[in-house]
């Protein structure tokens, strides 16, 4: 969470966009883990 906030504060627009994409993918993977249980 701290790394995401750091990117938001100091990252370039391209870095922020990439971080959003990565976080979205991670969120989907985490929900997939929960769905298996």
Q: Considering Cα of 25, then 28, then 29, then 30, what sign does the dihedral take?
A: positive
**pLDDT, position 1:** 86
**What's the structural domain count of the chain?**
1
Q: How far apart are the first and last CA of the chain?
A: 25
Q: How far is CA 7 from CA 16, 19, 31, 33, 37, in A?
A: 6, 7, 23, 26, 33
**pLDDT, position 37:** 80
Q: Are 27 and 20 in contact (CB under 8 A)?
A: no
Show the domain range for 10. Answer: 2-36
Question: Rounded mean pLDDT of 3-25?
Answer: 98
Is the pTM value of this prediction over 0.85? no
Q: Which of 16, 14, 13 is nearest to 3 (CA)?
A: 16
pLDDT at 12 over 90: yes
């Amino acid at each position: 969470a701290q790394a995401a906030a750091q990117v938001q504060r100091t990252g370039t627009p391209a870095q922020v966009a990439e971080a959003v994409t990565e976080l979205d993918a991670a969120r989907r993977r985490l929900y997939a883990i929960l769905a298996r249980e």
